[in-house]
Amino acid sequence: METEEILAWERKWRVLAAGAASLAAIAPIVALFPVAGITAPKHDNDLLDLYRINGHRSSLLTSTIVSAIGLIAASVVLYYLYRAVRARKPDPVSPAIGALSIVGPILAAVTTIVAGYFQVKGSHTFVSSMPRRNAPQTLQFLSTASQQQIATATHYIKDASQFQVAGYVGPAGLLVFAFALVLVSLNAMRVGLVTRLIGIVGIVLAVAQVFPLFPPYVLQLFFFGALTFFFLGRWPNGLPPAWETGTAQPWPSRQAMAEQRVRQRRGDPEPEPESEPEQEEERVPAGVDAALGRPQHPSSKKRKRKRRR
């Protein structure tokens, strides 16, 4: 694609990409609000979990759907950024990265919705099959439930076939999403579409998806929020030149930026790129040319004539 075609395509879809980036930034945080007042059970008992899920079905489903929307929006963002990287990177970028950018988040989103739906449905089916009880009777039942009843509850919210499938497909989708996020962030940083800080945050966010050592909500808000400003051309410190030129222009290092600011304050001109030194003409002895069957240089013949005189 020509540079003008690249920039035209990005201008056409940048509002959609920016909207998707905004959704991907805030959706994980918004998904926490419906379940904020739901406390986890104090005992390790799946029967308690099941009654808890049934009592907050709508809130849990709402939270699940919002989280899935955020993942789908992230797939749009990654694919848009992948297209921008591919158009600027001198070396060919594998189309598999673009496919992973779409498949990974969508796979994780679908698995999240399916698992959440069957948990809510299973809890409601189980509770509806039990005799009606008031609050004190329910508490007594939960505290005196048999092992068979607890095993039945476990089947409804953990051991059913749909949960076993989701237990494999969901993490696989998150792993693919994280892999695509690392590759896209790294290449976007190399061609100058994002700053080094934003690129590093994207890589750390990908690691947090696979190894959830801490909640990644703040990282998601920062990373996708920054991409929103990049896509709209509203980055506070100035848009990276690669977005305007359509070519790869890596973001300068901190040292280079500091030196540039010092030159601007002093009013010094920008340093000119060093020209390559001219190669000196290789001098070959006359006998070597004759031995190799190459014609001798005219200047060497003149020197021979002068010597004979």
What are the pLDDT digits (tens) for 105-139?
A: 999 898 888 878 877 777 777 677 666 655 555 55
Q: What pLDDT does 165 receive?
A: 67
Can you give the residue range of the structural domain that contains 208? 3-245
Q: Does 232 map to a domain?
A: yes
Q: What pLDDT does 277 receive?
A: 47
Q: Does 143 map to a domain?
A: yes
Q: What is the pTM of this model?
A: 0.74
| Helix-helix angle 217-232:196-210, to 10 degrees | 140
- Total domains present in the chain: 1
Q: Does 264 map to a domain?
A: no
Burial 88-123 (b: 16+ CB within 10 A, else e): bbeeebeeebbebbbbbbbbbbbbbbbbbebbbbbb
Listed residue (71, 274, 294) closest to 178, CA to CA: 71
Spatial separation of the C-alpha atoms in residues 109 and 75, rounded to whole Å: 10
Q: Does 225 map to a domain?
A: yes
Q: What pLDDT does 212 receive?
A: 80
Q: What pLDDT does 123 receive?
A: 73
Q: Does 230 map to a domain?
A: yes
Q: What pLDDT does 306 receive?
A: 47
Q: Does 86 map to a domain?
A: yes
Q: Does 301 map to a domain?
A: no
**Which segments of the chain have a pLDDT < 50?**
42, 273-282, 288-292, 300-306, 309
Q: What pLDDT does 2 receive?
A: 76
Q: Does 146 map to a domain?
A: yes
Q: What pLDDT does 257 receive?
A: 63
For the chain, state the CA radius of gyration. 32
Q: What pLDDT does 285 receive?
A: 53
